[in-house]
Amino acid sequence: MLPKDLLDVRRANGRIYPKFAWDEKDLKLAEVVIKLYRMGLGKKYRSIVENLKRIENANNYRKVRGFAKIIERRCEFERTTKLNPLVVRKLLFERGYVTKLSERKRVLDEVAEILGVTAEEVERAMFADREEERILKSMQEIKPDELIKAYNLSLLQTAIFNCLRLTFWISSNHKNVFRRLKWLGLMYELYDEDGRLLTSVTGAASILKMTRKYGTSMAKLIPEILRAEKWWIRAEVVDEYEKRVYFLEISDKVRHLFPIDYVEEVEYDSSLEEEFARKMRFLGFEVIREPDIVKAGNSAYIPDFYIKKGDRGVYIEIAGFWTEEYVKRKLEKVKEAGIPLILIVREDLALDRPRGVLDIIKIDKRGRIPYRDVVKKVKDLLGLNS
């Protein structure tokens, strides 16, 4: 993603249009920005920023800075000194303010003697932790067309970050998309519309807590959607300043604007699921991991497990982020469809403070599943306690 101040979009007639890079002018601009970073190898970051400012204008400012952000993810910077700048400043400032060059030299010499270095090294280290003082050590190669596509993806991710709802359809890559959807812990609903299975994901603008973390997780879902053969995305985007909602709609017709081999880093934590499967098997249940999508009228669900005992079974879903309203809505639909499902939620991922009595099982903040409650619930649903 890009910083919010680099979001470059056009708004018209209730819709929002990201200003993607795509033409020859953008390609040449990408070439220039890459060249400036190559020229900056071994130099201070300050000099790179100064060179970027020389090619910026009112029309291209966000693109130049956006290209720069993409490149910097591939760069390695280092300090100009091995000394700790915080320690150096503390020692210097403890000696009071100076009004003459001779006093300044005396203070530098005193601190240099304490640290066992030269006065020049102390002066160089004084503010070496500032971003502009870093040295560009190395830079991974990137071609102008690759830079443009990576920028376009980041721009799309930033545009949908503050949305109320993200709805999408894909023709393929279902398993990977839904797996990532689950692993990211996003709140979602699947429903059938004219024979197409649509996925509706609750957006960060709809929740009160952890919006940054949740919005970032949403952004990490986008690259997997774009890998489908055919896809369509619609987002209801909130404009914080105008206090209104705009619609962003995009499809595979512009797939050439995006990278198809881009991998968004996601730290998958499957330890909880592995522990759950192992424990339930130990307790005598057959455990089927990642069963097929379960239909419930026009809605559908992706359970994590199907727990069997003999010829009867019950679905288990371990939810990620959740709100009371989200859980209530899901439980009501499951109950209407008569699907035997147990919902397990994590207390630390609650996005509001539940007030009602919910028919769920909670994992405590230390990550412990109350297996006694789970087994009792499973047996109740399977009729094994009667």
Residue 98 confidence class, pLDDT cut points 50, 70, 90 = confident
| Interval 319-350: pLDDT, tens | 889 888 888 888 888 887 788 889 998 888 88
pLDDT value, residue 250: 97
State residue 234's pLDDT score. Answer: 97
Model pLDDT, residue 346? 85
Phi, psi (5° rounding) for residue 246?
-115, 155
Whether residue 342 contacts residue 314, with contact meaning beta carbons closer than 8 Å, is answered with yes
CB 32 within 8 A of CB 24: no
Confidence of residue 212 (pLDDT cuts 50, 70, 90): confident
Which residues are 176's β-sheet partners? none
Q: What is the mean pLDDT of residues 65-94?
A: 90
CATH tag, 271-382? 3.40.1350
Distance between CA atoms of residues 31 and 28, nearest Å: 5
Q: Say if residue 265's pLDDT is above 70.
A: no
Query: What's the pLDDT tens digit per position in 272-314?
Result: 888 999 999 999 999 998 888 887 778 888 888 999 988 889 9
Per CATH, domain 162-267 is 3.30.70 = yes
pLDDT at 159 exceeding the cut of 70:
yes
What's 383's DSSP letter?
T
111/88 Cα distance (integer angstroms): 8
Report the pLDDT value the prediction gives residue 386, as an integer from 0 to 100. Answer: 56
pLDDT of residue 225: 95
Mean pLDDT computed over every residue of the chain: 89
For the chain, give the percent of residues with pLDDT over 70.
Answer: 96
Whether residue 269 has pLDDT greater than 80: no
pLDDT at 357: 57
* pLDDT score of 268: 53
pLDDT band at 76 (very low <50, low <70, confident <90, very high): very high
* Structure tokens, 272: 């909880």
The model scores a pTM over 0.95: no
User: Looking at 50-64, 112-126, 305-319, 354-368, which range is the least confident one?
Assistant: 354-368
- Label residue 52 by pLDDT band (50, 70, 90): very high
The dihedrals phi and psi of 236, each to the nearest 5 degrees, come to -95, 100
Q: Considering only 44-53, 148-157, 322-331, which range has the smallest mean pLDDT?
A: 322-331
Q: Would you place residue 271 in the very low, low, confident or very high pLDDT band (cuts 50, 70, 90)? A: confident
